[in-house]
């Protein structure tokens, strides 16, 4: 099965700050997987919040909190998933995780459907 490695997390200022997160997949062809980004805000008790998902056909879904600001994309030629984060807010602070599941059934913003996870990359947005 695929293994995931996130990168791109950093500390930025709110308002004009932007970041691009990357998730590199290895060990299998990621194009057949449903892939997603989740985040864990600080002081949330490790609650995983769904950010965005993309299925094998390229259908993308966003959470209400990021729709219009974040852009999810996948590059199957590079076996990679990206999250362009614009107009960052302090409430976007957290640990961001890439996740994957085989097949599109359960390709949703709920972490219970995903068995494959990266180690995360930290995003800090200061006001």
pLDDT one-digit tens code per residue, 36-90: 999 999 988 888 999 999 999 999 999 999 999 999 999 999 999 999 999 999 9
Where do the H-state alpha helices sit in the chain?
A: none
> Is 33 in contact with 2 (CB distance < 8 Å)?
yes
What sign has the CA pseudo-torsion 85, 91, 96, 97? negative
Taking all residues of the chain, what is their mean pLDDT, rounded to a whole number?
A: 94
- Which residues are 121's β-sheet partners? 96
What CA–CA distances, in Å, run from 28 to 1, 3, 39, 65?
6, 8, 24, 31
């Amino acid at each position: 099965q695929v293994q995931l490695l996130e990168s791109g997390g950093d500390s930025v200022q709110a308002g004009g700050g932007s970041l691009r997160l990357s998730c590199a997949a290895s060990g299998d062809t990621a194009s057949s997987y449903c892939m997603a980004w989740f985040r864990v805000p600080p002081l949330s008790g490790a609650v995983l919040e769904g950010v965005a998902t993309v299925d094998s056909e390229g259908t993308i879904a966003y959470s209400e909190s990021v729709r219009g600001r974040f852009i999810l994309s996948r590059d199957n030629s590079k076996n990679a998933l990206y999250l362009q984060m614009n107009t960052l807010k302090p409430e976007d602070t957290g640990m961001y995780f890439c996740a994957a599941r085989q097949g599109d059934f359960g390709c949703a913003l709920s972490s219970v459907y995903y068995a494959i996870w990266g180690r995360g990359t930290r995003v800090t947005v200061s006001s």
